[in-house]
Chain A
Amino acid sequence: MTRTGLTRRQALGFAGAALTAPILAAPARARADAHVVVIGGGFGGSAAARAMRRIMPEVAVTLVTDAPDFATCPFSNLVIGGLWDMSEIQFSYDALHDDGVKVRVDPAIALDPAGRTVTLHSGDRLSYDRAIVSPGIDFRYDALPGVGPEVADRLPHAWKAGAQTILLRDQIRSMPQGGTVIIAPPDNPFRCPPGPYERASLIASYLSRHNPAAKIIIVDGKDKFSKQGLFMEGWQALYPGMIDFVPFSDHGGLKGIDADARRVETYFGDFKGDVINLIPPQQAATIVLDAGLGGSGLWCEIDGLTFEAREADHVHVIGDAAIVGDMPKSGFAAATQGKACAHAVAALLEGREPQRGILMNTCYSLVGPEYGISVAGVYRSAQDTNRLASLPGSGGTSAAGNLPELRRDEADYARGWYANLTQELFGA
């Protein structure tokens, strides 16, 4: 520590608290041969890998991912609604490579916490000192009546962006005039709680331009949803009469799905659609559960300060696969967690105490191209339990009411949010 630093500390009067330090402070020594393996090249994994290299440039970081490009779920509803091109939500890992991250396009198929290895599809096995695991979700088709994963070829989920996004977009484009789109979202918890309702909005935006007599029916696995009041206000303002929300208690649950007839059968009646967006119930990605990190549940419990799995040492789980206190399953939350996790992993590799900073989540949804709404939250791990809890006096949704300027501003901010977030994850 330089003398200037000490003087500042004393002047600040925060005895003993390492709050700020000049850049000239001697960096803590890391284990030069440490290897961090990151599983998953989405929001959590990419953010963690880049942050790891930024914080500890001397540490080797390998990111293991399934494909050479990543299509983001955030803003994929703009593609489905015909407002953006697919190429606008696709990113390569070139910038991560330039940061010194070794990117392996070779899916991780097994994680062995006891042996500290990750096995890849090719058969290669990577050893790690710390693993950061951010593989997202898998679908529970076994929780749906009478269908398996192959149903997605006809009734797309479009809940992992890419070919599924294009399939759903094209089905909507070729739908007959006056046709019906059914969106069937699952019960909580699932990836991106406001996502199905933004999707309904932007499909309505497309239909109101190209197929104005068409209808959208949301056959929901729950009775209430994220930003519900704001969405419904927006639907009334922009697409009156086009979107019908059927809560769980009005249909009693899915009894059958007839993919040939494009019919969803419920306990209180059937819904016939021309396009069915079937979003199955979800769980942590299989690799997490197969490694025993889910305990007896479907998601991974973690320590909210270090993100280390409750069930395994040296394995840190972030993003949608984990239960991260009060934080929602969102891409933005995963990116924030990825960076915070990298700080914690760096501290542990250097033998320092992980620091209890503030994490945030901000999720914008577009109800229309110029009509944005948001939900925000601020979180810090609790001193006693390390649970990442919402902080009092923060968070919440946009103001309700007829506020066209605010909606326009938030639509602008939504686009800025996406630009900055993807720049941080994948930009040069």
Chain B
Amino acid sequence: MTCPDPDRARHGVFAIFAAVLSGTGTAWAADGPLAVTVDACTTCHGPRGMSQGTMPTIAGMDSEAFAEALLAFRDGSRESTVMGRLVGPLSDEDIAEIAAYFAALPGADQ
């Protein structure tokens, strides 16, 4: 599921991105397992990914930066309070999809 080599993992995720983002500008709705998973994210990060508190707003976040962050939490290269304990089971595909989903939501400046 998870890729042991971080560089290879990043490459894999961005290859998936290239495909996911080929239809730039389209708003995305989640269905399938992703719909359930992104609803777990918003319990902490706020409804529709818009945070009222210390957790960052993830709506409208650049999808590559988003995926980079999750990959770094997953391989331990980025320190965190809690994210490192949550992202372990996410596959490269999960990360690419979650990133694409939140990137397409209207963010704080929209």
Residues of A within 8 A of B81 (CB): 374, 398, 406, 409-410, 413
Q: Chain B: which residue is nearest A344 at the CB level?
A: B36
**Closest CB of chain A to B60's CB: distance in Å?**
15
The 0/1 profile, CB within 8 Å of B marked 1, for residues 198-230 of chain A is 000000000000000000000000000000000
Interface residues contributed by chain B, number (CB under 8 Å): 45
Task: Select which of B32, B43, B46 is within 8 A of A335 by beta carbon.
Answer: B43
Distance of A261 Cα from B72 Cα, bound (Å): 58
Distance of A340 Cα from B34 Cα, bound (Å): 11
Residues of A within 8 A of B34 (CB): 19-20, 357
Stretch at the interface among A3-11, A71-79, A245-253, A269-277: A3-11
The answer to whether the Cβ of A420 comes within 8 Å of any Cβ in the partner chain is yes
| Given known contacts A378-B89, A406-B81, A413-B55, A20 and B31 CB-to-CB distance under 8 angstroms | yes
Residues of A within 8 A of B20 (CB): 8, 12, 20
Residues of A within 8 A of B89 (CB): 358, 378, 380, 391-394
Task: Select which of A21, A340, A380 is within 8 A of B29 by beta carbon.
Answer: A21
Among A376, A412, A427, the one with the most B-chain Cβ atoms within 10 Å of its Cβ is A376
Do B36 and A416 touch across chains, with their CB atoms under 8 A apart? no
Distance of A423 Cα from B46 Cα, bound (Å): 7
The answer to whether the Cβ of B44 comes within 8 Å of any Cβ in the partner chain is yes
Residues of A within 8 A of B53 (CB): 413, 415-420
Do A421 and B44 touch across chains, with their CB atoms under 8 A apart? yes
Residues of A within 8 A of B22 (CB): 7-8, 11
The answer to whether the Cβ of A332 comes within 8 Å of any Cβ in the partner chain is yes
Distance of A410 Cα from B93 Cα, bound (Å): 29
**Closest CB of chain A to B96's CB: distance in Å?**
9
Q: Chain B: which residue is nearest A357 at the CB level?
A: B36
The answer to whether the Cβ of A178 comes within 8 Å of any Cβ in the partner chain is no
The answer to whether the Cβ of A23 comes within 8 Å of any Cβ in the partner chain is yes
**Closest CB of chain A to B6's CB: distance in Å?**
15
Residues of B within 8 A of A51 (CB): 39
Do A18 and B86 touch across chains, with their CB atoms under 8 A apart? no
The 0/1 profile, CB within 8 Å of A marked 1, for residues 31-65 of chain B is 11111110111111111000111110000000000
The 0/1 profile, CB within 8 Å of B marked 1, for residues 17-34 of chain A is 111111111000000000
Do A420 and B40 touch across chains, with their CB atoms under 8 A apart? no
Q: Chain A: which residue is nearest B26 at the CB level?
A: A22
Q: Chain B: which residue is nearest A8 at the CB level?
A: B23
Do A19 and B86 touch across chains, with their CB atoms under 8 A apart? no
Residues of A within 8 A of B3 (CB): none
Do A14 and B93 touch across chains, with their CB atoms under 8 A apart? yes
Q: Chain B: which residue is nearest A427 at the CB level?
A: B47
The answer to whether the Cβ of A286 comes within 8 Å of any Cβ in the partner chain is no
Distance of A410 Cα from B81 Cα, bound (Å): 7
The answer to whether the Cβ of A263 comes within 8 Å of any Cβ in the partner chain is no
Distance of A396 Cα from B87 Cα, bound (Å): 12
Task: Select which of B45, B47, B88, B97 is within 8 A of A20 by beta carbon.
Answer: B97
Among B37, B39, B93, the one with the most A-chain Cβ atoms within 10 Å of its Cβ is B39
Do B54 and A412 touch across chains, with their CB atoms under 8 A apart? yes
The answer to whether the Cβ of A356 comes within 8 Å of any Cβ in the partner chain is yes
The answer to whether the Cβ of B2 comes within 8 Å of any Cβ in the partner chain is yes
Residues of B within 8 A of A340 (CB): 36, 39-40
Q: Chain B: which residue is nearest A373 at the CB level?
A: B81
Distance of A355 Cα from B36 Cα, bound (Å): 7
Do B16 and A362 touch across chains, with their CB atoms under 8 A apart? no
Distance of A396 Cα from B86 Cα, bound (Å): 9
| Given known contacts A355-B33, A360-B40, A416 and B19 CB-to-CB distance under 8 angstroms | no
Residues of A within 8 A of B87 (CB): 394
Interface residues of chain B, those whose CB is within 8 Å of chain A, are 2, 16, 19-20, 22-23, 26-37, 39-47, 51-55, 81-82, 85-90, 93-94, 97, 100-101
Mind listing 16 A-B residue pairs with CB under 8 Å?
Answer: A4-B26, A12-B19, A17-B32, A19-B97, A20-B20, A20-B100, A339-B39, A339-B40, A355-B35, A376-B85, A392-B89, A410-B82, A412-B54, A417-B53, A421-B43, A423-B47
The 9 closest A-B pairs by CB, nearest first: A357-B36, A416-B53, A416-B54, A393-B88, A391-B89, A11-B19, A419-B53, A394-B88, A339-B39
- In addition to A406-B81, A420-B42, 15 A-B residue pairs with Cβ atoms within 8 Å of each other are A8-B19, A11-B19, A17-B32, A19-B34, A20-B34, A20-B100, A22-B29, A332-B43, A335-B43, A336-B43, A343-B36, A355-B35, A358-B37, A410-B81, A412-B54
